[in-house]
Amino acid sequence: MTDERASGETGGESHQPDDQAAEADDETAEETEDEREDDRLTLADFHDASQEAGRPVLTAAAVARTLEIPSEKARDALADLAGRGDVERLSVETDPVVWYPSELEDLTDRERVVVFPKRREVIVDRPDQFTRAQLSQFAHLADGNGEQGYRYVVRPEDIWQAPHDSFDTLARTMRQALGQRSEALEDWVHSQWDRAHQFRLTTHEEGYTVLEAKSPEIMGNVARQKLDEEHVHAPISDTEDWVREGSEAAIKRLLYEAGYPVQDHRDLESGEDLPIDLEISLRDYQRTWVDRFAEGGEGVFVGPPGSGKTIAAMGAMAHVGGETLVLVPSRDLARQWADAIEEYTSLEPHQIGQYHGGRKQVRPVTIATYQIAGMDRHRSLFDDREWGLVVFDECQHVPSDVYRRSTHLQSRHRLGLSASPIREDDRQTEIFTLVGPPIGTDWEALFEAGFVAEPELEIRYVPWGDEGQRNAYASADGQERYRIAAKNRGKVDDVRYLLSAHPDAKALVFVDYLEQGRDLAAALDVPFLSGETPHHERRRLLEEFRRNERDLLVISRVGDEGIDLPTADLAIVASGLGGSRRQGTQRAGRTMRPAGGALVYVLATRGTREEDFARKQLQHLGRKGMTIREQTVETSGESDGSDADE
């Protein structure tokens, strides 16, 4: 080895001539001491170069090439890092001097943030809690499995609902999260911020609603192109239109779809005062949800089942302090809400009413079903009362034609709750125009903090249990093929096997078909809970399950939403894979509670379309941070021992 290489020089390189070095010194002499300090190579810069090169050991020439700095500067900077103990250097017989971090594990342990401005994506490896919290204010967690980093996407709606009073404060949050300034991304975010402040609804002094635009151009080129006499009576000025009563929601939806969310500043009635004290402490993230809601007066709490959205909603009720209407999909859920409000708030039973097929009570806090609230003969009861807050539970239903009639009920504050605000008809944006913007915490953060147990999800590919069914599947087509595969009798044996493998578990077995549910219930000698089960019987079975007097139930789609089973620690999905992604979330969510050890098994008939349905239905859960395994069952109840993590 030559002395040149031992001293840190790379092969084929030489020092600059003295006059060039002197010229360089003259050029840098004008820099201030602070500028020289900022220009100094850091260990983070070395890591950036290392990631770009794809290896942890680099030559000075590689560092210079990757960071686009002169070789001489790279050599001096590396020597400076070595002097501080950040990197080590190693002389190799046939190669130049190479450099590597003093703590190699730092390469894998450190947080790294990479921004892709054109795609409006941010990839974060090992993000800490602060970074996650900052990112959640302007970006959507699109993939949280952690294997290839956490992928955040900055969407228009994320900027439109960002909890900031000015673009400058939003930009400051972005720079804190990204650790850098991305000028291209900030320019796009600024344009979206401006879009979100072009229109607003206000109340005229004479009581009617006015649509205001920031300029005559935006009113003429956007609003008056999208709206017609069905929505507005007539122009008031170049920037104002007189809104027809009852068309506010439609206006907000149309302009939202055009890329211009409307700020709702109407003077809506707030109802009678109703002091409410919350008699349970909110977790930090729940408090953040309530604070975000309080800033805008509307929103949708988005979080996994078991994250306490109902408790957070009661926190919002306490903040509003007014009469409240809670809309729910089922009478079972209405009863659960009434019990929870009585238990966790200062309200007395006589202040809480239920309005559905079983009861007809309108009180300061009323829990009603969507169907009842949307019926003409009942709506006047709700319209005549001035509500300070309307809560839309399981608000992913709101865009449907039956449920959206309930959104015509106006109040100063509107709050939605949903574990999975996605719809197979792609109308989920209507949720946020009809109710409010999304407010939530990424699921992975709740898993790591221990607030919600991450269930283990396993897709099991089950063989046919009946040759006749296999032949029928082969000769069938369309929906009939799916039905035959879903009702594969081989699943009965696998359900038995899984239950025997977890003898102490409290288990739920989900099915989509009544005939299959009855057969499974008979084979297991347990009750089958379906829509045909009388309400009093359904309530009794669920109470027995909660009190640990019963440890196994077979449940139809009635269990997908509106039933709280907090002690379930094992779920087996025997059929239902052709359902929605939301259904997959709800069924997996029956095990998402603070207690650990939750398991979810999804059974799919091997070699059929159920395999694809299973993967597609659960893939969005994988993106939220859950680990999903796949297992092939060779014979009834036995696996081949191999699994693959998605």
pLDDT in tens, 426-479: 555 667 777 888 887 666 667 666 666 666 788 899 999 989 999 999 999 878
Q: Are residues 291 and 152 in the same domain?
A: no
The residue-averaged pLDDT of 182-211 equals: 93
More confident residue, 258 or 386: 258
Q: Picking from 145-149, 175-179, 352-356, which range would have the lowest pLDDT averaged per residue? A: 145-149
Closest CA to 140 of 128, 156, 118, 163: 156
Q: Are residues 118 and 102 in the same domain?
A: no
Look at residues 382, 413, 442 and tell me which one is the last residue of a structural domain: 442
Q: Which pTM value belongs to this model?
A: 0.57
The residue-averaged pLDDT of 62-75 equals: 85
Task: Say how far apart CA 478 and CA 465 lie, in whole Å.
Answer: 21
Q: Are residues 295 and 240 in the same domain?
A: no
Q: 3-state secondary structure string, 79-134?
A: HHHHHCCCEEEECCCCCCCEEEECCCCHHHHCCEEEEECCCCEEEEECCCHHHHHH
Look at residues 107, 124, 151 and tell me which one is the last residue of a structural domain: 107
Q: Are residues 529 and 592 in the same domain?
A: yes
Closest CA to 285 of 126, 133, 444, 455: 133
188 within some domain: yes
The residue-averaged pLDDT of 323-340 equals: 90
Look at residues 146, 167, 195 and tell me which one is the last residue of a structural domain: 195
Burial 542-553 (b: 16+ CB within 10 A, else e): beebeeeebbbb
Q: How many CB atoms lie within 10 A of CB 152?
A: 28
267 within some domain: no
**398 neighbors 359 (Cβ within 8 angstroms):** no
Query: How many domains, in total, are found in the chain?
Result: 5
For the purposes of burial, counting CB atoms within 10 Å of the CB of 198, is it exposed (0-12), middle (13-18) or buried (19 or more)?
Answer: buried
Residues spanned by the domain of 233: 199-260
What does the pLDDT read at residue 16?
43
What does the pLDDT read at residue 554?
93
Dig out the tokens for 259 from the structure: 């890329």
CATH classification at residue 64? 1.10.10.10
Q: Are residues 90 and 128 in the same domain?
A: no
Please, which pLDDT band fits residue 22 given cuts at 50, 70 and 90?
Answer: very low
Q: Are residues 505 and 638 in the same domain?
A: yes
What does the pLDDT read at residue 30?
37
Per the document, the length of the chain is: 646
For the purposes of burial, counting CB atoms within 10 Å of the CB of 420, is it exposed (0-12), middle (13-18) or buried (19 or more)?
Answer: buried
Residue 104 scores a pLDDT above 70: no
265 within some domain: no
Q: Are residues 72 and 26 in the same domain?
A: yes
Task: Say how far apart CA 549 and CA 529 lie, in whole Å.
Answer: 16
275 within some domain: no
448 within some domain: no
Q: What angle do CA 529, 393, 541 make, to 5 degrees?
A: 20
CA distances from 592 to 160, 284, 605 (A): 31, 19, 26
What does the pLDDT read at residue 332?
83
Q: Are residues 431 and 460 in the same domain?
A: no
447 within some domain: no
Q: In what order do the strands lie in the sheet with 121-125?
A: 112-116, 121-125, 150-153, 140-143
CATH classification at residue 386? 3.40.50.300
Q: Are residues 253 and 300 in the same domain?
A: no
More confident residue, 501 or 419: 501
Please, which pLDDT band fits residue 151 given cuts at 50, 70 and 90?
Answer: confident
542 within some domain: yes
Residue 491 scores a pLDDT above 60: yes
The residue-averaged pLDDT of 5-27 equals: 39
What does the pLDDT read at residue 244?
92
The residue-averaged pLDDT of 623-639 equals: 68
Task: Say how far apart CA 336 and CA 344 lie, in whole Å.
Answer: 12
372 within some domain: yes
Q: Picking from 43-47, 308-312, 353-357, 536-540, which range would have the lowest pLDDT averaged per residue? A: 43-47
Q: Are residues 353 and 399 in the same domain?
A: yes
